[in-house]
Amino acid sequence: MDATEIGLWGVPLAVLGGAIRVSTPFIFVSLGEAITERSGRINLGLEGTLVFGAMTAYAVAVMTGSPWLGLLAAAAAGLCFGLFHGWICKFRGVNDIAIGIALMLFGSGLAFFFGKPFIRPSAPDLPAIPFGGWSDIPQVQAALNVNVLFLIGAALAVFLWWAFRNTRAGLILRVVGDSSDAARAMGLNPNTVRLIATGIGGALAGIGGAYLSLYYPGSWTEGISSGQGLMAVALVIFARWNPLGCFAAALLFGGAGALGPALQSVGVTQGYYLFYAAPYILTLVIMIATSSPSRSLAGAPGELSITK
């Protein structure tokens, strides 16, 4: 076999590579949202946080020459957005969904405003670890170039899954999310817990943004997110608020998104618009397959405004 001709093997390889490359922002945003929603609040503003994080990371990386400082700055910016959301929502009569939408628009707008001078310069990328060294095929090597953030995201998903069940912090989070009254009776302040949860959620979304601008696709443009932050929020519901489910759903979305270009590249060119709809069709199919009238919102935190 010619090393440059991999033919139909390109499709599964592209889906695998795409799952690894494209999924990382979904992983971080959905894990962040899972933490926030487990505390009983919805932060729809993570799309804005993602875009602002992407811009901040890129700008700081351009100015300092260090992608890690960019990553840190993006996390800090995301934290600020999250804390702001958490702080406003503690006031009586404030709707967390409306604030989220406002922050989404605000975050994107602010990112476009500050991001103008950074569209042209090139920033250093975050490093990737080559796991494909065992193979002689350059395509396999390219697909298995795994960014450290993906690995961190995977570890974080497992850690959160464990921590929600087995740690005191996880218990506090779940109590606050399921019943404010019970939490108050235990002497907990739901607002403080939610403030912290939303802040952490924002920081994770900021890291997701840094991945977009500093690794894949690896440049700052205003259309960089194209709605990934919103989709990741939806993934949390799809994943039933389970961190491992979030990770799996993100991989599924990434892999299905790579299907369209990969099929065209091997000559399956008819109906590519249909293949581009694959992630959404897949979501719909799984939603229908797993739905049941008796346990419709199983796993949903009781304090969430969509379940109240």
Q: List Cα–Cα distances, 116 to 111, 137, 151, 225, 226, in angstroms.
A: 8, 40, 31, 16, 18
Closest to other proteins by CB, 5 vs 308, is 5
Report how far apart the first and last C-alpha atoms of the chain are (Å, whole number).
60
Note whether 22 binds other proteins by CB under 8 A: yes
Note whether 276 binds other proteins by CB under 8 A: yes
Q: What is the sign, positive or negative, of the torsion defined by CA atoms of 262, 229, 33, 211?
A: positive
Other Cβ atoms closer than 10 A to 81: 29
d(CA 214, CA 140): 22
Token reading at 52: 């602002």
d(CA 98, CA 75): 23
Note whether 267 binds other proteins by CB under 8 A: yes
Note whether 124 binds other proteins by CB under 8 A: no
Note whether 131 binds other proteins by CB under 8 A: no
Position among 68, 87, 106, 112 found at the interface with other proteins (CB under 8 A):
112
Note whether 243 binds other proteins by CB under 8 A: no
Note whether 23 binds other proteins by CB under 8 A: no
Min dist CB 30 to other proteins, Å, is 16
Q: List Cα–Cα distances, 245 to 13, 142, 204, 236, 241, in angstroms.
A: 23, 27, 17, 8, 7
Note whether 41 binds other proteins by CB under 8 A: no
Closest to other proteins by CB, 64 vs 145, is 145
Note whether 18 binds other proteins by CB under 8 A: yes
d(CA 229, CA 277): 18
Stretch binding other proteins (CB under 8 A), from 56-64, 170-178, 179-187, 271-279: 271-279
Closest to other proteins by CB, 88 vs 222, is 222
Note whether 17 binds other proteins by CB under 8 A: yes
Tokens 């139909």 belong to 8
Note whether 265 binds other proteins by CB under 8 A: yes
Q: What is the CB-side half-sphere exposure of residue 265 using CA atoms within 13 A?
A: 16
DSSP 130-176: E--TT-S-HHHHHHTEEEHHHHHHHHHHHHHHHHHHHSHHHHHHHHH
Stretch binding other proteins (CB under 8 A), from 45-53, 162-170, 219-227, 294-302: 219-227
Note whether 147 binds other proteins by CB under 8 A: no
Judge if the upstream peptide bond of residue 217 is cis by omega within 30 degrees of 0. Answer: yes
Note whether 260 binds other proteins by CB under 8 A: yes
At 129 the three-state DSSP class reads: strand
Note whether 234 binds other proteins by CB under 8 A: no
Position among 10, 124, 170, 302 found at the interface with other proteins (CB under 8 A):
10
Min dist CB 234 to other proteins, Å, is 17
Min dist CB 264 to other proteins, Å, is 4
**Which chain residues interact with other proteins by CB under 8 A?**
4-6, 10, 13-14, 17-18, 21-22, 112, 116, 119-120, 122, 139, 142-143, 212, 216-219, 221-224, 226, 228, 257-258, 260-262, 264-267, 269-273, 276
